[in-house]
Amino acid sequence: MKRSLYHNLTKWKNSKERKPLILKGARQVGKTWLLTNFGNSEFSAVHYINFEKEKRFHSLFKESLDPDAIISTLEIMLVVKIDIYRDFLIFDEIQECPEALTSLKYFNEEIPTLAIGCAGSHMGMMLSLSSFPVGKVDFLTLYPFNFEEYLNVKRSDLIQFLNKSSKLERIPEAIHELLLEELKNYYIVGGMPEAVEIFIKKGGKGLETYEAVRSIHYKLIEGIQSDFAKHSGKWNAAHIARVWEDIPQQISRVNDKSVSRFQFKGVIPNKSKFSQFEGPIDWLIKTGLAIPVYLIEQPAIPLKSRSRKNMVKLYLFDIGLMNTMAGIPYESILKQDYGSYKGYMAENYVAQELISEGVKELFFWQGKTSKIEFLLGVKDNIIPVEVKSGSRTRARSLEVYQKKYTPPVSIVISAKNVAKTGKQIYIPLYNSGKVSQISKNYY
């Protein structure tokens, strides 16, 4: 189960300015597995503490934030010797012990040679705390398996063709169709490690395999929902749940052309203003469960300065969980027969790929009768990206945008093979994760 972020962890380990690492990411995306696997491969020894399961460690950090005292006591509690030059110390579910989070500041200042990796599913909610060690930690974010990571596990022999496509080299049509078939599987399975693992173990096809994947999805969704009450803080857990559960229906309506952003009315009884939804939406975004895409009506660099926070589309963080929550039969996905969800599925997938690639924030443009799914800030220009779920690539909205703003290059993502015509680049859906890179290289 190779993860692309392993490379980033290696760079972190070898950095002369290394600080304690906080690995962010939604629940069950594989943070603990990745840190443990990395530690076992790259260090002499790994020392693991889970603050959720092992409450006995809390008192240690409440009594003292002195790194030397903490290490000495940990050695006694764990019955090990901790080598501050060669070992890796993992603090899992660190959000459960705020004092441990605070201690990272002192570890960074007093024992910088000790490599510390921390994981937590709700770290986004901790950043605003006064005790957070601002400037004293490094961050990385782990997402569900993107399509390339999935392919690396399922059909690694096809990766070479993704690389060719990234260079705008047309690939054989038979291979192109194979990749589109694997993309259908990815739409069903998604990128949650447990779902990917069971899919591979059961052979990657067949009724029993898809049913096993859906069972995993139901379990993961239940676990996520149980977190709402436990970690919602001052926000109403029921309101968070209502917004979360409504996202698939919201975006299917967006692609049905009746609305173009999140509609608040009817989601929570007697609430219809953005200010009444801002807390639950912010919670879902900060915990990594939702991907926001903000409206821009007048594109300009920097994009964020032109965005409207109260005009937002929300996508789910995993395409597989989205399809399960929406109740779309996997048979329909394999046949590409899923009505108004077809466009949403492609958009949700592309949003995931862009975020996984490293795009920090996503934006969309809307005119009077036109809409561009994504705008990317590349160098000092804005690149429009239109998403098509099928192979028909006539992009009327893109034509409107091009006429109005004359971008240096435009991107159409579709089921069509890679191509370049003038200032327009056609990228196959399965290579959506390379859009930003391609945009930088080809204008």
Q: For the purposes of burial, counting CB atoms within 10 Å of the CB of 11, is it exposed (0-12), middle (13-18) or buried (19 or more)?
A: exposed
What is the pLDDT at residue 134? 85
What is the pLDDT at residue 273? 65
pLDDT per position in the chain (443 positions), as tens? 789 999 999 999 999 999 999 999 999 999 999 999 999 999 999 999 999 999 999 999 999 999 999 999 999 999 999 999 999 999 999 999 999 999 999 999 999 999 999 998 777 666 666 678 889 999 999 999 999 999 999 999 999 999 998 899 999 999 999 999 999 999 999 999 999 999 999 998 888 999 999 999 999 999 999 888 887 766 688 889 888 998 887 766 655 444 455 555 556 565 556 667 788 889 999 999 999 999 998 999 999 888 877 788 899 999 999 999 999 998 988 887 655 556 788 999 999 999 999 999 999 998 888 899 999 998 889 999 999 987 666 678 899 999 999 999 999 999 999 999 989 999 999 999 999 888 877 66
CA distance 399 to 411: 11
Secondary structure of the chain in HEC code, one letter for each residue: CCCCHHHHHHHHHHCCCCCCEEEECCCCCCHHHHHHHHHHHHCCEEEEEECCCCHHHHHHHHHCCCHHHHHHHHHHHHCCCCCCCCEEEEEECHHHCHHHHHHHHHHHHHCCCCEEEEECCCHHHCCCCCCCCCCCCEEEECCCCCHHHHHHHHCHHHHHHHHHHHCCCCCCHHHHHHHHHHHHHHHHHCCCHHHHHHHHHCCCCCHHHHHHHHHHHHHHHHHHHHHHHHHCCCCCHHHHHHHHHHHHHHHHHHHCCCCCCCCCCCCECCECCHHHHHHHHHHHHHCCCEEEEEEECCCCCCHHHHEEEEEEEEEECCHHHHHHHHCCCHHHHHHCCCCCHHHHHHHHHHHHHHHHHCCCCEEEEECCCCEEEEEEEECCEEEEEEECCCCCCCCHHHHHHHHHHCCCCEEEEECCCCEEECCEEEEEHHHHHHHHHHHHHCC
What is the pLDDT at residue 156? 95
What is the pLDDT at residue 272? 53
What is the pLDDT at residue 228? 87
Q: For the purposes of burial, counting CB atoms within 10 Å of the CB of 178, is it exposed (0-12), middle (13-18) or buried (19 or more)?
A: middle
What is the pLDDT at residue 258? 44
415 Cα distance to chain centroid: 23
SS3 379: coil
pTM of the model: 0.92
**Contact present, 378 and 440 (Cβ < 8 Å):** yes
CA distance 287 to 143: 11
Name the token pair of 19.
């600080």
CA distance 424 to 420: 6
Residue-wise burial string across 405-439, b where 16 or more C-beta atoms lie within 10 A, e elsewhere: bebebbbbbbbbbbeeeeebbbbbbbbbbbbbebb
What is the pLDDT at residue 440? 79
Domains in the chain (CATH in brackets) are 5-141 (3.40.50.300), 147-441 (no CATH)
Question: What sign has the CA pseudo-torsion 328, 334, 335, 339?
Answer: positive
The one-letter code for the residue type at 160 is Q
